Amino acid sequence: MSAPVRILFVDDEERILRSLAMQFRRHYEVLTESDPLRALQRLSEEHIHVLVSDQRMPQMSGAQLLAEAREIAPNTLRILLTGYSDLDAAVDALNNGGIFRYLTKPWDPQEMAFTLRQAAELAVRQVQPLQSVASEKLSAPLSVLLLDDEPDTLGVVGEFCVAGGHRLLRARNLAEAMLQLNNESVDILVSDLKLAGDDTAPLLKTLAQAHPRLLSLVVTPFQDTQALLRLVNEAQIFRYLPKPVRRGLFEKGLKAAAEQALIWRAQPVVSRLAEVPRDEREQEKVGSLLGMLGRLRERLIA
């Protein structure tokens, strides 16, 4: 008999912790902490499959907690729970905490249950990454596809590829991007949310389902918190990098993406599972793009 999945909820409000424990204790081994520091201590001493943290806590923000948890227990899947539309917190949780999903308060019980079920299934299938990866695979060159025409973005990505011996691919529009994605093995995608006037978000969401090992970095001036949260959940983007480009932050994001891509290349299981878009028009766009990817792939293989 396999051990139960262990989920740790962290929130400074005891009533919320009691509610979560009552809702999920029949299906999981539920642990609760109202103090983020105690939660980090437990992570260092016990195996936790999934960590769910509130954002607004007096001792430490949820984004800070998840960032520290990532260092202590990298294989624990991390979920941020908040009732606030805070762009900085969302970006921090994504870039530094590596969150699996972002849920809003008051949470929908069915959505929470579905998200935890997905996280639990992925968590128990994960393997220890670094120790089992051959050194040659951790230094192999990668393919980077750039969907952005701005010189500053191209300069940083180009220098990164030259320095690391990686291959740089480019697309001027969505049609070219689709051809590249079907014709080439792409490890990292760097994209603005606009390419030649077209919205790239549906493509990002499609790739999260079709190519879960592909890491997407979004480089954009947009400031819409809700749009970012949808990209976290539905496109599983790896990093959000604001424009104008900040070279140090951009280089750090590219380096982290390269390290993760090389690890995933040698792993049988990837701890990513995109949420299906809720908006019907988005669903139609993603479905259409999935079909196009399939048809293009068949044409290229034939």
Instruction: Determine the Cα–Cα distance for residues 92 and 111; give it in Å rounded to an integer.
Output: 23
Which pLDDT belongs to residue 297? 53
C-beta neighbour count of 249 within 10 angstroms? 14
Task: Give the contacts of 78 (CB within 8 A, at least 6 positions apart).
Answer: 50, 51, 53, 66, 69, 70, 97, 98, 99, 100
| pLDDT value at residue 263 | 80
Specify the DSSP element, H or E, that contains 10. Answer: strand 6-10
Coil, helix or strand for 257?
helix
**How confident is the model at residue 137, as a pLDDT?**
54
Bridge partners of residue 195, in order along the sequence: 198
Which 8-state DSSP code applies to residue 302? Answer: -
Say how many C-beta atoms besides its own lie within 10 A of residue 146's C-beta. Answer: 25
Give me Rg for the CA atoms of the chain. 19
Domains and CATH numbers, the chain: 6-126 (3.40.50.2300), 136-301 (3.40.50.2300)
Q: Tell me, letter by letter, the H, E, C secondary structure of 188-212.
A: EEEECCEECCEECHHHHHHHHHHCC
User: Digits of tens for pLDDT over the chain (302 positions)?
Assistant: 467 899 999 999 999 999 999 999 999 999 999 999 999 999 999 999 999 999 999 989 999 999 999 999 988 999 998 876 677 888 888 888 889 999 988 888 899 999 999 999 888 876 444 444 455 555 679 999 999 999 999 999 999 999 999 999 999 999 999 989 988 889 999 999 999 999 999 999 999 988 888 999 999 987 777 888 889 899 999 999 989 999 999 999 999 999 989 888 777 666 677 888 888 888 888 888 888 876 655 443 33
- pLDDT of res. 139: 64
Report the pLDDT value the prediction gives residue 112, as an integer from 0 to 100.
93
The reported pTM is 0.86
How far is Cα 79 from Cα 291, in angstroms, rounded to an integer? 31
